[in-house]
Structure 1
Amino acid sequence: MRIPRIFSSQPLTTQQEVELDEPASRHLVKVLRLGTGHPLTLFDGHGGEYSAELIETGKRARARTGEFRGKDRQSPLALTLAIGISRGERFDWVVQKATELGVATIQPLFSERCEVKLSGERLQKKLKHWRQISISACEQCERNLVPEIAEPVKLTQYLQVSTQESSSVARLVLHHRTELDLRQWQAERGKPDSALLLVGPEGGLSQAEIDMALAQNFMPLRLGPRVMRTETAPIAALSVLQFQWGDL
């Protein structure tokens, strides 16, 4: 029997009665048609998870937590994905798959070739939407620590801030015109504990942006001879990084 995993926006403790969010309640009661007494797993995004039991159904279902399990399934490689915002559902797909691949932080970026314009209330609504996608992905892939999705910033601003991070971080910018691949990078620098991957939007990063990244100690990285789409490139790169340095 599959036990549903549900995110709780309330901080959790053992032996606690929890009113579940309306979307979670609807999923459990209307979609899965679960009744009282059905086992659940609850997590609040702060680490670990709780066994639980559904004790009330309705528009706002309620559950009672049981034992705590301190399993987070985090990658030993702390991964940050900094990526230009793409149009339509492409960025939603990247957020979902990056979460499944164990990314710790997603930093949306406004770059020179970014065609998405967001500000004010619309930006906050989109940010909430991306965070919900990441939460849903955590429910599915059994992560208990929800990745941080930072507020979008301009690429130029982010590059200035990123230089303040530890020099031991592997800073990589996808660049299909370079000859450097991951094996060469590791041979020169060894295995890092964390990595920052910079990816452009549709149309990629401009040469000026790539030069700016290189000036801020990013290393160019090529993923073979083929040019990938903006929604394909980060997933392929993250998979390679997790295989080489993480837990795949």
Structure 2
Amino acid sequence: MPSRRRGRRHRGACSPRAGQSPLVGASPAGAVVRAPGRWGRAPGPRRIARCRGHRRRGRAGPPRVRRRRRDLDRGLDDARAAAHPLSVRRFTIAPERIDGDRVAFDDEESRHMMAVLRLVPGDLVIAGDGRGSDYTVRLETLDATATGTIVGVAASRAESPVVVTLVQGIPKGDKMEQIVRAATELGVARVLPVITERTIVRLEPSRWRERARRWQRVAKEASKQSGRSVVPVVEIPRPLADSLDAEGADLALCMWEGHAPPLAEVLARVRSPRAVRVLIGPEGGLARGEVEAATARGWSAASAGPRVLRTETAGPAVVAVLQFVFGDLSGAVQRDG
């Protein structure tokens, strides 16, 4: 028995070498000729027939049976999509590409479906329209433009009741991508990169627009990964002085590692805000003059505690606290009253 198990593990061992017949050596008439196998033993004639490439592949059954199995699989897919929406592949779609119960995905999403994920007609996917609705779509054609039929629609449950805008001082390297990705997963609605006094990166306006497009792609992928139907808007970087308008925000936080009250103390002063802005500085933090300019326009300075956080940590950390206290991160949505 042990030798048989070892032989199955090395099924390719009975394959003949190039230019050599599997029946090696002379033998008398009527004798069974055995080919030398690996590990110095000769496999039996049945083992030769079981070698790789010699096995027969059975069909799935007559066409009627195959159609029945396909319909059954589709029914199971529908039930699985309804019970576990996060287990279904997610894509984004512009509202104008929805026509009645028909949808047509853009070139980028179509190429991802066909060339990367290897989806086939009949598969179920979820398409978020960027406005808070999730469409369950059964794919029909996978070509340059993937199309499908809507089989269900539901309001997204992955959006927080708190609309958070992250005003982030631009850091060095690819740290901004990390910030955008984490902030998107935590439910941020908008990311506004700003150029501060201590920002090291200085680019031409055209280069900033290119960076913003790349950050927007990161936000799109993070939205699909986290099950969101709304993709946060990543603005083109602008000077901090042009981004200090706190009008319309119930709470505007200016995070500063200087002499500022603790974040918990500032949050205790407000009740159930629905629009929050958070200002985070780049490496080195915000300058004192920038903090004074922000507080003069209605921002509340706050400290994250006795430890100094890196810029790629501070923004997501504060957003997580806001979502826990006022949003849906705790599992219970805060209500007025």
Answer whether contact 2:160 2:187 (CA < 8 A) is retained: yes
Q: Partner residue of 1:22?
A: 107
Instruction: Report the AA paired with residue 90 of structure 1.
Output: K
Q: Secondary structure at the match of 2:312?
A: coil
TM-score of the superposition, structure 2-length normalised?
A: 0.67
- Determine the C-alpha separation between the residues in 2 that align with 1:118 and 1:139: 30
- Equivalent positions of 1:170-185 (< 5 A) are 170-185=251-266
- Equivalent positions of 1:193-212 (< 5 A) are 193-212=274-293
Instruction: Report the AA paired with residue 286 of structure 2.
Output: L
Query: How far is 1:72 from its partner?
Result: 5.0
- More divergent stretch after superposition (30-39 vs 234-243): 30-39
Bigger radius of gyration, 1 or 2?
2
Q: Partner residue of 1:120?
A: 205
Instruction: Report the AA paired with residue 93 of structure 1.
Output: Q
- Equivalent positions of 1:152-231 (< 5 A) are 152-159=237-244, 162-163=245-246, 165-166=247-248, 169-231=250-312
1:120-173 alpha-carbon deviations (Å, 9 max, x no partner): 3322222211111111111111111222222221101212xx14x13x621111
Residue from 114, 121, 124 that aligns with 1:39: 124
- Determine the C-alpha separation between the residues in 1 that align with 2:205 and 2:212: 11
Q: Partner residue of 1:235?
A: 316
- Determine the C-alpha separation between the residues in 2 that align with 1:9 and 1:190: 35
Structure 1 unaligned blocks of 5 or more? none
Instruction: Report the AA paired with residue 15 of structure 1.
Output: D
Alignment of 1:92 with 2:177, yes or no, is yes
- More divergent stretch after superposition (233-242 vs 2-11): 2-11
Query: How far is 1:59 from its partner?
Result: 4.4
Query: How far is 1:40 from its partner?
Result: 0.7
- More divergent stretch after superposition (83-92 vs 23-32): 23-32
- More divergent stretch after superposition (194-203 vs 214-223): 214-223
Alignment of 1:129 with 2:129, yes or no, is no
TM-score of the superposition, structure 1-length normalised?
A: 0.90
- More divergent stretch after superposition (56-65 vs 171-180): 56-65
- Determine the C-alpha separation between the residues in 2 that align with 1:201 and 1:4: 35
Distance 1:228 1:92, change over 3 A: same
- More divergent stretch after superposition (100-109 vs 143-152): 143-152
Query: How far is 1:46 from its partner?
Result: 2.5
Q: Return the structure number with greater strand share.
A: 1
Query: How far is 1:71 from its partner?
Result: 2.2
Instruction: Report the AA paired with residue 108 of structure 1.
Output: P
- Determine the C-alpha separation between the residues in 2 that align with 1:233 and 1:26: 36
Distance 1:146 1:17, change over 3 A: closer
Q: What is the RMSD of the two structures over their aligned residues, measured on CA atoms?
A: 1.9
Answer whether contact 1:174 1:220 (CA < 8 A) is retained: yes
- Determine the C-alpha separation between the residues in 2 that align with 1:57 and 1:156: 48
- Determine the C-alpha separation between the residues in 2 that align with 1:195 and 1:10: 27
RCO (CA 8 Å, sep 6+): is it higher in 1 or 2? 1
Q: Partner residue of 2:227?
A: 142
Percent identity at matched positions? 32
Answer whether contact 1:72 1:145 (CA < 8 A) is retained: no
Answer whether contact 1:50 1:69 (CA < 8 A) is retained: yes
- Determine the C-alpha separation between the residues in 1 that align with 2:131 and 2:269: 36
1:38-93 alpha-carbon deviations (Å, 9 max, x no partner): 11111221230111112222444333333221225321111111011112211011
Structure 2 unaligned blocks of 5 or more? 1-79, 81-86, 330-337
